[in-house]
Amino acid sequence: MIDPATFAGSIPQTRGVAPRVRVGRKRWLNLLWLVPIGLVGLVTAVVIAKVLRSTQGIEHFIATNPGTIVTPQARADPGFPAWVSVQHFFNLFLMIFVIRAGIQILSDHPRLYWTRHSTPGREWFRMQKPVPDEPLWTAKQDSISLPGQLGLPGLRHSIGLARWWHLGADVLFLANGLVFYVLLFSSGEWQRIVPTSWSVFPNAVSVLIQYLSLDWPVEDGWVAYNSLQQLAYFITVFVAAPLALLTGLGMSPALSTRFKRLSKALSIQAARSLHFLVLVWFLVFIVIHVTLVAATGLLENLNHMYALRDGDSWIGLAVFSASMVICIAAWVAATPFTLRYPRVVQRVGFALIGPVQRLFEHIDSSPGEYTEDDISPYFWHNGRYPDSEKYQRLLDSDFRDYRLHIGGLVDDPADLSLDDLRALPYQEQITQHFCIQGWSGVAKWGGVSMQTILELVRPRPEAKWVVFYSLGDGDETGAYYDAHPIEQMSYRLTMLAYDMNGEPLPFGHGAPLRLRNETQLGFKQVKWIEGIEFLADFADVGGGYGGYNEDHEFFGYRQSI
């Protein structure tokens, strides 16, 4: 059970600002302006359409392109099969959680960029005030909360739980979509939403003019959709939905390091921005779709989709209303349920998406290197800074007495000073950091390869997990730690860094030593490392979920996506 007052280190709930978009270098447009601008635009469009329709040319155009292309097959076989209705419901139901959790994820780093650098002031979209000029400002401090019935679950920095909802519901949404594709093409139904003639475009323009002139076309959705509808459905099903998947995968650290050439063009931030624009498409689509369903013959339209019949009986509305009761109940219950049973959400989410995350973990991260030119001018800080006396003493003495303890299931446990570490072969890499919250940055890391450490301490065959413990505490109680599969310790880009961008690793970024494992998200890159332990499993460490954030904020321990 989550107590919102103490969740995530008692971080107070705070609202962001109305969404705004940057115009030019420094000006920001509040998107609330789009409401009056949109209304004026709509009225203007209606006036223009009305004027157009009073011209003979346009009337002729509409007469030759009436709006709906009815094929002989469509006429011979009207109506909808039952699976369309069932899948339409599941799609709608799942999108409630995908969208709410998606907005929650955005709120954890409420800024969007086009380059991988995530430089404050260079974002094109934000729902948060400008980044304050504080050198140790963290991304966590930058997060905002949402109303609990909009976000899922609404609390500030609840991204761990939001991701289970988002990714878990995504898996079901994609499975539903896959079945839909198969049934669509194995039946003749695809012809409803796939245009087969170029005349779909003039017909769509014709429909648009007719709608805007408020003199609406006579249509029969039971037989065929009008061309504008067909294009909108086609784009939603065959462009927006696949793009949502691809841009989602574009944010994965494992895939981005493996498919470096792709991610060079489509950086995580471009992927995140496009992912957001796909959301905007879906939201605009939903608003227009629902409005037109209601305005163009509500009873007929609901009969078609919900009762598989033509005509204006009340049956479709009744079935639709029953389905809405289910949706609304689930909507209302989702946040309270999540706060009451966060471990259930974590477990079910992991059951759904975990196998995929596990699959991507075996990906070799070697291609994920960048060049000096790619190094980010600004690298966000994150997490909870160490504040113990012990750490302060080490820091004050320039880590003279620092020892890295390495033990557990190894043949040769070791205690290494910084000088010992510096005497080992030097590894340098320029790589990209992916914070779970959504920001990214490229930096040059210098230090010791974990491969070198493995050779030094010689893990036993029973060792399956490597746990990194921090000198710093987590946000509640106890030391920050995180467990990594041993397989990833011999990846070429897995290392302990004591240098960053050619200088000794600064305090904020983890002095004297931090982990880099480039197939994983940022929270797994333990900073201020004190010890390393090789284990058969991590059930007895901390809360037993594989890491501090896994224990306290319900993150997942496999984070390749």
Ligand X SMILES: Nc1nc2c(c(=O)[nH]1)N[C@H]1C(S)=C(S)[C@@H](COP(=O)(O)O)O[C@H]1N2
Q: How far is the CB of 436 from Mo ion (least distance, A)?
A: 5
Which region among 70-78, 264-272, 389-397, 434-442 touches Mo ion (by CB under 5 A)?
434-442
Q: Binds 102, which of ligand X, Mo ion, none (CB < 5 to 8 A, cut-off by type)?
A: none
Q: How far is the CB of 439 from Mo ion (least distance, A)?
A: 8
**Residues forming a β-bridge with 495:** 449, 516
Pair 536, 463: CB distance under 8 Å? yes
Q: How far is the CB of 443 from Mo ion (least distance, A)?
A: 14
Determine the Cα–Cα distance for residues 477 and 495; give it in Å rounded to an integer.
Answer: 27
Q: How far is the CB of 8 from ligand X (least distance, A)?
A: 11
435 in contact with Mo ion (CB under 5 A):
yes
Nearer Cβ to ligand X (162/526): 526
With H, G, I as helix, E, B as strand and everything else as coil, classify residue 490: helix
Tallying the residues shown for the chain, one arrives at: 561
Q: Binds 384, which of Mo ion, ligand X, none (CB < 5 to 8 A, cut-off by type)?
A: ligand X
117 in contact with ligand X (CB under 6 A):
no
Which region among 250-258, 355-363, 402-410, 431-439 touches Mo ion (by CB under 5 A)?
431-439
159 in contact with Mo ion (CB under 5 A):
no
Interface residues for ligand X in 381-400 (CB under 6 A)? 381-384
Determine the Cα–Cα distance for residues 449 and 129; give it in Å rounded to an integer.
Answer: 40
Peptide bond into 153 cis (omega under 30): yes
Q: Binds 379, which of Mo ion, ligand X, none (CB < 5 to 8 A, cut-off by type)?
A: ligand X
Pair 144, 133: CB distance under 8 Å? no
Which region among 415-423, 427-435, 445-453, 509-517 touches Mo ion (by CB under 5 A)?
427-435
523 in contact with Mo ion (CB under 5 A):
yes
Nearer Cβ to Mo ion (382/494): 382
162 in contact with Mo ion (CB under 5 A):
no
Q: Binds 509, which of Mo ion, ligand X, none (CB < 5 to 8 A, cut-off by type)?
A: ligand X
Which region among 38-46, 118-126, 376-384, 397-405 touches ligand X (by CB under 6 A)?
376-384
555 in contact with ligand X (CB under 6 A):
no
DSSP for 59-126, please give it: HHHHHHS-S----HHHHHS-S--HHHHHHHHHHHHHHHHHHHHHHHHHHHS-EE-SSTT--TT--SEE
Determine the Cα–Cα distance for residues 129 and 498; give it in Å rounded to an integer.
Answer: 33
Q: Binds 525, which of Mo ion, ligand X, none (CB < 5 to 8 A, cut-off by type)?
A: ligand X
- Closest residue by beta carbon to ligand X: 383
Q: Binds 50, which of ligand X, Mo ion, none (CB < 5 to 8 A, cut-off by type)?
A: none
Interface residues for ligand X in 440-499 (CB under 6 A)? 470, 472, 480
522 in contact with Mo ion (CB under 5 A):
yes
Tell me the per-residue interface mask from 521 to 540 with ligand X, x by CB under 6 A, - otherwise. -xx-xxxx------------
509 in contact with ligand X (CB under 6 A):
yes
If DSSP states are collapsed to H, E and C, what string results for 358-407? HHHHCCCCCCCCCCHHHCCCCCCECCCCCCCHHHHHHHHCCCCCCCEEEE
Which region among 149-157, 418-426, 429-437, 475-483 touches Mo ion (by CB under 5 A)?
429-437
Determine the Cα–Cα distance for residues 370 and 194; give it in Å rounded to an integer.
Answer: 42
Tell me the per-residue interface mask from 412 to 441 with ligand X, x by CB under 6 A, - otherwise. -----------------------x------
**Binding residue (CB under 6 A) for ligand X from 360, 380, 538, 554:** 380
Q: Which long-range contacts (CB under 8 A, 24 or more apart) does 472-475 make?
A: 472/383, 472/384, 472/385, 472/386, 472/387, 472/388, 472/391, 472/527, 472/528, 473/384, 473/386, 473/387, 473/388, 474/9, 474/384, 474/548, 474/549, 474/552, 475/8, 475/9, 475/10, 475/11, 475/384, 475/552
Nearer Cβ to ligand X (224/471): 471
Backbone angles phi, psi at 308, to 5 degrees: 55, 40
Q: Is 18 exposed, middle or buried (0-12, 13-18, 19+ CB in 10 A)?
A: exposed
Determine the Cα–Cα distance for residues 498 and 513; give it in Å rounded to an integer.
Answer: 5
Residues binding ligand X: number (CB under 6 A): 18
Q: Which residues bind ligand X (CB under 6 A)?
A: 379-384, 435, 470, 472, 480, 509-510, 522-523, 525-528
Q: Which residues bind Mo ion (CB under 5 A)?
A: 382, 435-436, 522-523
